[in-house]
Amino acid sequence: MGKTGVLILNLGTPDDPSTSSVRRYLKQFLLDERVLDINGALRNVLVRGIIAPFRARSSGKLYKELWTEDGSPLKHYGYKVRDMLQNRLGDNYLVELGMRYQNPSIKDAAQKLREALVDKIIIFPMFPHYASASTGSAVQEAMRVITEWLTIPELACVSSYHNHPKLIKVFADNARKFDMEDYDHFLFSFHGIPQRQLRKSDVSNYCLKNSDCCQSICESNKMCYSAQCYDTAFKIADELGLSKDQYSVGFQSRLGRDPWTEPFTPDVLKDLNSKGIKKLLVFSPSFVSDCLETTIEIADEYHEEFLEMGGEKLDLVPSLNDDPLWVEAIEDILKPYL
């Protein structure tokens, strides 16, 4: 019998922080119809004619701040997790890493599994919460690549794992590395998505029918991105013994004028400041690896904004990166599929 392949998927990163590489990355990313889900002709004009040309330089500056001697943290930790998971699973498995945008590509990673004659491929997106623009896009690309092969192996896919006990525990353990008593409040900041994408994904006519529909998981919204985010926050808070008044939930990275998931994290920061909160510890459970949205947006930009409001400190709970407990959690999440 052949091996079982594990195809780890993540969003992607520019090959380097140069303007040309960032422009190339932005084009591939924003031309994805699951990411910018508008009319195709308009999307093409906006991305090629406006967004990529004018945003590449400013985004490149941010990537230069993010870049380390090991390159992109997302790619660096992706490779480390791949190798650590390979060591845990052993010789009967082959683990590869593929990025939805840029390199290493999903096509190249899948081809390595094909050449190894694996009998089965398990697709594992590095997104704890399901969203069409992240998990959906990455899985769709993996399926597009694999279904072009004449011989298609057995396939399995992990669609979400937002409430897996070991995932919750490793986020909580990272927070315990701080002096929890030294903070006035705790904030869970998740990446936002347009509300229209929540509605498009809803087949039960349940989405956004009331103001708190996302704050409990049920059969109708079990695959709702926002509901899964709230569930993660509630479970981490329970693991840490936090009461409801000790933490808040927000959504960051809003773009454009269309309604996005709410409340918006900068608005939450303003509200907390108005209530006299001075010391804040922030979680970012959407991301399992350091990236622009954690290292730059939260740790730098939100930190600076909070201090300017009169806050005393805003600290970020580290991403999971190459934490051995995170790799152990991945193995546990994969067990039903192995």
User: CA–CA separation, 250 vs 214, rounded Å?
Assistant: 13
Indicate whether 86 belongs to any domain.
yes
Above 80 in pLDDT, residue 14?
yes
Are both 14 and 139 inside the same structural domain? yes
Indicate whether 170 belongs to any domain.
no
Amino acid present at 26? L
Are both 328 and 246 inside the same structural domain? no
SS3 165: helix
Q: How confident is the model at residue 2 (pLDDT cuts 50, 70, 90)?
A: confident
What does the pLDDT read at residue 137?
Answer: 98
Are both 99 and 185 inside the same structural domain? no
Above 80 in pLDDT, residue 1?
no
- Residue-wise pLDDT for 67-100, tens only, equals 999 999 999 999 999 999 999 999 999 999 999 9
- Residue-wise pLDDT for 116-131, tens only, equals 999 999 999 999 999 9
**Quick one: 18 exposed, middle or buried, by C-beta within 10 A (0-12, 13-18, 19+)?**
middle
Above 90 in pLDDT, residue 210?
no
- Average pLDDT of span 37-43: 96
SS3 205: coil
- DSSP letter, residue 264: B
What does the pLDDT read at residue 257?
Answer: 84
Indicate whether 172 belongs to any domain.
no
Are both 98 and 188 inside the same structural domain? no
- Read off the pTM: 0.96
Indicate whether 277 belongs to any domain.
yes
Are both 81 and 222 inside the same structural domain? no
Above 80 in pLDDT, residue 140?
yes
Are both 311 and 332 inside the same structural domain? no
Are both 247 and 306 inside the same structural domain? yes
Are both 149 and 214 inside the same structural domain? no
What does the pLDDT read at residue 255?
Answer: 87
User: CA–CA separation, 65 vs 292, rounded Å?
Assistant: 9
Indicate whether 167 belongs to any domain.
no
How many domains does one find in the chain? 2
What CATH number does the domain containing 61 carry? 3.40.50.1400
SS3 6: strand
Please choose, from the candidates 79, 88, 159, 6, the residue with its C-alpha nearest in 3D space to the C-alpha of residue 328. 88
Above 90 in pLDDT, residue 102?
yes
Are both 239 and 259 inside the same structural domain? yes
User: CA–CA separation, 243 vs 128, rounded Å?
Assistant: 24
- Residue-wise pLDDT for 265-299, tens only, equals 999 999 999 999 999 999 999 999 999 999 999 99
What does the pLDDT read at residue 82?
Answer: 98
User: CA–CA separation, 190 vs 250, rounded Å?
Assistant: 6
Above 90 in pLDDT, residue 60?
yes
Are both 312 and 328 inside the same structural domain? no
What does the pLDDT read at residue 212?
Answer: 87
Amino acid present at 337? Y
Are both 299 and 208 inside the same structural domain? yes
Describe the chain by its helix, strand, coil percentages, rounded to 5.
50, 15, 35
Q: How confident is the model at residue 106 (pLDDT cuts 50, 70, 90)?
A: very high
- For residue 97, the cross-strand partners are 8
- Residue-wise pLDDT for 230-242, tens only, equals 999 999 999 999 9
Q: How confident is the model at residue 57 (pLDDT cuts 50, 70, 90)?
A: very high
- Average pLDDT of span 155-179: 97
Indicate whether 122 belongs to any domain.
yes
Neighbours of 94 (CB within 10 A): 20
Are both 139 and 249 inside the same structural domain? no
Residue 23 belongs to domain spanning: 4-161+324-337
Indicate whether 168 belongs to any domain.
no
Indicate whether 194 belongs to any domain.
yes
